[in-house]
Chains A and B, each alone.
Chain A
Amino acid sequence: MHELLLFASVPTHQHHELLRQLAGLTAMQPHHRVERRLVFKAYRKPGVITTRVGASQDVQGADMQRLNKMLNGGMFYTQVVGPVSELAFGAKPSSSRNPDALMSGMGELPPSNENADNSYAYENQPWKLEFRDIPEAGTRSAVTSRLMASSTLPKGDIIESMNAWGYSFVTEYVVEGDIFIHNDIVIFLHRVLHYPTEGQEPNEPRRILPPFETMTPLERTGSYVLQAAITVQDGGNQEMMKTASQHLFGLREQLKSAVRLEQADRLSLDTRAK
C-alpha cells in the first residue's frame, strides 16, 4: 500500500478555529484521538540470514530474492500504535484491585464502574504495527508519497513478540489530536506529547500513564500539525496515484485560505535505522 501525504503547521491560536472549519468542511464532528506510539528499531540477528553467493545455476526465485533483499537491505524503525482514552492518563492500573485503589477513588462509586471509566489496563491495550518507508525520492508530484503497511498485533505486552521478530524498543511518545474524514482523505490534526522526564528513561513501555496535564508538547509553543493522508492499495497503478494526489490538491485548494498544505521534507520522514 502507498500513502500520499500533505502537511501543514497550525499555530495554537488557530487550532480551535481550524477545528471548526474542518468540521464544517467534512460535515462531521471530530473524533478525538489519543495514541501511544512506541518506537522500535530493527536489529540484525546474528546467524539468521544465510545468503548463497555465486551459484549461478541455482537461480533464485523472485520471492526468494525479494525476501533476501528485505532481510539484508536497510533496517527500519517501526512504530507500534495503540489508541488510549484520555481518561487512562493518571489512572490506576486496573489489575491492582487492592483497597487502596478504591480508597483513593470516589467512595460512592461502585468499584466496577470506576474501573471501567477511570483505569488503564496495559494487559488489554490493543496495538497496531505501522511500517512507513522513507518517502519516494525524485517524484515530480507535489505530494509526499511513501510505502506503508499496517497490521494488528496481539493485545497487552508487546515487547516479547517484537523482540522475537527482531525489534528492540527505543522510546515512546503520545500523539493527541482530532480526526476528520473527507471522502477518501483522513485529516489528522495532531501534536506530539512527551512523557514527563523523571531521571532514567525506561527501556520498556510504561504500564502506568502519567496524568495528562504533565505531558509536554514536543513543540514548545504547542502548535499542531495538520496531516492529510490518502492510502492507495496499489502504488504501481499510476492512475490511482494521480487520482489520489488530485484529491489532495483539491483539499489544499479548499483549505487555501486557512492553512497552507505542502509536501514534507523527505529526509525529515526518514525511517531508516543507521
Chain B
Amino acid sequence: MSDSLSLPLRPLIEESDRPDALPVEIAQINAQWGAFRDVNEDSLRAQIEQEKYKDPYADDDDENDEDTSATDVDSAERLDLLYRRRAEITQFALQAHMEAMFALDFVSLLLSKQQPRQAETSMSAFLKQTAPLGSLDAEVVHPPPKPESAAVDTKTVSRGWRLQNFNAGANRLLDAATRLETEVASETRYWNEVLAVKEKGWKVCRLPRDRQALGVQYGFMEATPIFRDRGLAALRRADDGSLMLDKGLAPQRARMVRVRVKSCKGISGCSRVHPSSTNNAESIEDRIFQARDTLYEEELFHELFREARILGNQGVTTRQNLLQVPVSSGQEILLDLVDMDGDPTPDDPEIASTEDDTLANAISHSIHILLAYAHRQNLRRRTQPPPPLVPKRRHTPEYQLLRPVMAYLQHSSHVRWLESFLGDLHQVLKAAGLQFELNASPFSSLRLPTTPSIPAAEALVQTFLIPFESTFSCKLPSAQGSFKVRVRTSAMSPPLGTHFDISVNIPEYPDSQPPNRIGLQEEAAEVLTHFTMLDILSAIAHNSSPSAWTAVYPHHGELMAISPTGQNKKLQVTLSRHEISVRASSARGFEHPAEATDKKPVRSQTWKPNTPTESLSLMDFVAEISKDDS
C-alpha cells in the first residue's frame, strides 16, 4: 500500500500573510457584536462558557423547556395542544399555498405579454378579471458596472465555497476509504473462516430460502425430515467479521440424552456427560460440532419417545421428558434429555451409588450406535426403487433403539439367573456325590458376521437385532439322561419377552416331557428340578442290584424295594435348589404313599452344598439301606 501513489485529496491552502485588512475586521465586529462599547472581556468569556455547556443537539432552549413542561400537562391539555399545533400547521400550509399562487399569478401576468395563450392557462380567475392580458411587461435593464471590490468579494466567496466543498469531499472520500478498509478486513476474516470450515470437510452451501446467505450443513441426511432440515445453519458475519452460527429459532443450549439406572436403592448409575473438549474456546468448529451433537441427541430422544409409545405393552412408560424402561425385577432404566452445561451429576440427591455407571454408559453408546444404524437403513431404503404410488402414505417404522437394549438386558438377566440356578443344583448334586455336567453357551446366537455383501459395521449391529438365544446342556447323574435349555428373548417380533425351551431326554420316562414354552423363572426351575429328580431315581434303580429298587411313584420321588421276606422298603428322594434328601422307611406292600407316612423312618440323610462332606455319597447310602434290608 505504501508503495502505491498517494494523492492529496485536500486542497492546498495558501497562507496569505494578513488576509484581511483591519478595517474589514472592524466592520465585521461591528456587524456581529454591535458597538465596541458593549463588547468587553467578561461578556465574551461568559458567552464562551455558555456555548461550551450548550447541548449541541438541542436546537433551542425554549423548546427544551416546552418539552419538559409538555410532559406535565395532562391528556386533555395535550389534546388541545395537538389541535392547536395542527391548526398552526394548516395555517402555515395555507399561507404557503397562497404565496405560491400569488407568485404564479405574477409570473403568468408577466409572461402574458409574450405568450398570452400559454400564460392564460396558469392564471387565476380573479387575476383574469381584474387585469387584462399583457398589462405587465419586463425589460432588461443593464445594471451599472459593479465595483471592483464586489467582484473580488464574489471571487473570494466562491473560492471559499469551493474550498469548503473540496474539504468536505476529501473528508467523505477518506471516511469511505477507512470504512472500506475495515469492511475489507472483516470480509477477509469472514471468508477465511468460511474457508477454514470448508477445509475441515463441512458442507458449505447457499441457504435455500435466503439465497444471499451461506450455510453450513452439519445435520444427518437420513434423519427424520424435521431433524434433517434443522441440520443447516446460516454462517452470518458479525460486525467485526467473525463468523456466527445462526441456527434460527433452535435453542442454543447443548443437550444430551442421559441414561440412568435405577435399582431398588435409588439411582445406581448415570451415563457420563460427554465433556465438550473445548468448553470455553468456542471456535466456530466447536460450535458446529456442538450443534450437530445436540441435533443428534434431540433426534435420538425423539425417536426413543416414538418407540416407547409402542412399547407400552412391555411396561415402558413416558413422562413429559422422561422414559422409564423396566429391564428386570428391581432394575429400571431412566432416559431423559438434559442440558449439557447444567452439571447434573453431583447435586442429584437420588444417586445412591455409581456401581452401574458402566451399564449406563454402555446403554448410552448402544442407543447412539443403533440410531446411526437406523440412519444407514434409511439410506438403503431411500436408494431402492420405490413402490408404486398409493394414496395411503407409507408409515415410517419406529427405529429399533430401546428394543434391542431391553432384549439384551432381559436376556442376560435371565441367563444369569439360570446359570446360578444350575450352578446351585450342581453344588447340591456334587455334595451328594452325583455327577452332573453342565455345558453353557450364553449368547450363542451372537456370532461375528461373515457376509461380505453388507459393511461390517452394519452386519455387526444386525446380529444384535435378531432374537437372542442361549443354550445350556446338562448331563444328568444317570449317564443316559440329559436335558437342554434354550433361552430365547425377542423384543422385536412376537412372542415377545423371554421364554425357556426345555427338552429332556430320560430314557426311563420317555413320555414325560416338560411344557413347550415356559415363561416364568419359577416354573422353569420347578421343571428342571423335577426332571433331575426323576433322573436320580432312574440312576438309583440302575445302580442297585437288579430288582432291588423300583420307582413306584416316580413323580413323587418314591422308590420301593420288595424283598421276598415281605419286609418292603420305601425310599423317598426330595430335591430342591438348596438340598437333596433321602428318607427311607419300611412298608408292608404297595401302599398309598399317604398311608406310609405314619411309619417310622428308618434312616434319612440330607446333603447340602458347603457343608463338610459326609462320609457317604447318596449311592453308598442307598446301597447301605439295601443291605439293611437283607
Contact = CB atoms under 8 A, between A and B. Distances in A.
A183 B394 CA distance: 12
B391 interface: yes
Interface string A51-88: 00000000000000000000000000000000000000
Contacts of A240: 389-391
Interface residues of B, number: 11
Interface in B376-423: 379, 382-386, 388-391
B197 interface: no
B391 A239 contact: yes
B391 A237 contact: yes
A228 to B, nearest CB: 13
Contacts of B384: 181
A186 B221 CA distance: 19
A27 B385 contact: no
Contact of A31 (B383, B389, B391): B383
A186 B385 contact: yes
Contacts of B389: 184, 230-233, 240, 243-244
Nearest to B205: A24
B388 A27 contact: no
A27 B391 CA distance: 26
Interface in B107-159: none
Nearest to B385: A186
Contacts of A25: none
Contacts of B386: 181, 183-184, 186
Contact of B390 (A181, A186, A234): A234
Judged by DSSP, the binding face of A is mixed
Nearest to B382: A181
Contacts of A231: 388-389
Interface in B52-107: none
A28 interface: yes
A237 B391 CA distance: 9
Interface string B294-330: 0000000000000000000000000000000000000
Interface in A231-269: 231-234, 237, 239-240, 243-244
Nearest to A234: B390
Contacts of A1: 388
Contacts of A31: 383
A27 B390 contact: no
Judged by DSSP, the binding face of B is loop
B382 A28 contact: yes
A31 B221 CA distance: 19
Contacts of B390: 233-234, 240
A186 B388 CA distance: 11
Interface residues of A, number: 19
B383, B388, B391: most-surrounded residue (chain A CB, <10 A): B388
A233 B383 CA distance: 20
Interface string A144-181: 00000000000000000000000000000000000101
B221, B379, B382, B389: most-surrounded residue (chain A CB, <10 A): B389
Interface in B345-386: 379, 382-386
Contacts of A237: 391
Contact of A232 (B382, B383, B385, B388): B388
Nearest to A185: B386
Contacts of B391: 234, 237, 239-240
Nearest to A244: B389
Contacts of B382: 28, 181
Contacts of A186: 385-386
A27 B217 CA distance: 13
Contact of A233 (B221, B379, B385, B388): B388
Contacts of A184: 386, 389
Contacts of B385: 179, 181, 186
Nearest to B381: A181
A22 B381 CA distance: 18
Nearest to B379: A28
A243 B391 CA distance: 10
A181 B388 CA distance: 13
Nearest to A30: B383
B247 to A, nearest CB: 22
Contacts of B221: 27
Contact of B383 (A181, A234, A239, A243): A181
A4 B537 CA distance: 77
A183, A186, A231, A243: most-surrounded residue (chain B CB, <10 A): A231
B232 to A, nearest CB: 13
Contacts of A243: 389
A75 B221 CA distance: 47
Nearest to B383: A28
A240 B393 CA distance: 11
Contacts of A27: 221
Nearest to B222: A27
A210 to B, nearest CB: 29
B176 to A, nearest CB: 38
Contacts of B383: 28, 31, 181
Nearest to B394: A184
Contacts of B379: 28
B387 to A, nearest CB: 8
A103 B383 CA distance: 40
Contacts of A179: 385
A244 B386 CA distance: 13
A248 to B, nearest CB: 11
A143 to B, nearest CB: 13
A237 B389 CA distance: 11
Interface in A1-28: 1, 27-28
Contacts of A239: 391
B453 to A, nearest CB: 13
27 contacts: A1-B388, A27-B221, A28-B379, A28-B382, A28-B383, A179-B385, A181-B382, A181-B383, A181-B384, A181-B385, A181-B386, A183-B386, A184-B389, A186-B385, A230-B389, A231-B389, A232-B388, A232-B389, A233-B388, A233-B389, A233-B390, A234-B390, A234-B391, A237-B391, A239-B391, A240-B389, A240-B390
Given A186-B385, A232-B389, A240-B391, 11 more contacts: A27-B221, A28-B379, A31-B383, A179-B385, A181-B384, A181-B385, A184-B389, A231-B388, A232-B388, A240-B389, A244-B389
Interface of B: 221, 379, 382-386, 388-391
Closest 9 CB pairs of A and B: A231-B388, A233-B388, A232-B389, A233-B390, A28-B383, A184-B386, A181-B383, A27-B221, A1-B388
